Amino acid sequence: MSKFLPILILGGIVVFGVILFFNFSKKMPSGENEKAKEKAEDSENNIPEAPEPLINLVAVGDIMLSRNVGRKMAENKDYQYPFLATKDFLQRADLVFGNLESPLLSGPPVENSSMIFRADPECALALAAVGFDVLSLANNHIMNQGPKGLLNTLVLLTEAGIKTAGAGTEKAKAHWPAIIEKNGLTIAFLAYAYPG
């Protein structure tokens, strides 16, 4: 009998707990019971909250539109030529960022062996057409055509609807971010290069 005493006590406690549970659940005031039902129905009918805003960002590396690339664009009479294989991909993105390594300025073709770059001004509209939204100008080639090349590049890109970061008509403006608002988000781009 002493072996079964703990089992009997435990069984009694369980039975007592079950009786209490059913007894109190039946005696729950009807107002609270109705509130519990409404809450359960509301949770079933809830419309899920809108997801956080998302953005598809494509970031590419250096864009060099000078030397042989410049000649190919001129030969094909197509300034989108370097982007033919990637244009559709770029255009599907919400935001496209790259580093423009070639100042935009009219002039003679640049030799293949030259490390002094210059791209045709028509490239600004081509870059916009293939999907670029923001370009970094903070690199070792943006001043290859001097202040005139930089200013011309800034004007052409602005006219094409492309924002720039990392260069400006004065030092303070070079530190300003390019700010883009897309899909309910505000994104700032900063660009820096080593001083040269």
Residues 35-50 have pLDDT tens digits of: 666 665 655 566 777 7
- CA distances to 123, 126, 147, 165 from 162, in Å: 12, 11, 20, 10
Per-residue confidence band for 123, with pLDDT thresholds at 50, 70 and 90? very high
Note the maximum CA span of the chain: 110
* Lowest mean pLDDT segment, chosen from 27-36, 38-47, 83-92, 175-184: 27-36
pLDDT for position 88: 97
Q: Is 81 exposed, middle or buried (0-12, 13-18, 19+ CB in 10 A)?
A: middle
First to last CA, the chain: 96
Residue 124 in tokens:
């600004």
pLDDT for position 30: 54
Please give the average per-residue pLDDT across 99-122, as a whole number. Answer: 92
pLDDT for position 130: 98
Among 169, 72, 78, 85, CA closest to 123: 78
Give the global pTM: 0.73
pLDDT for position 31: 56
Question: What are the beta bridge partners of residue 97?
Answer: 59, 134
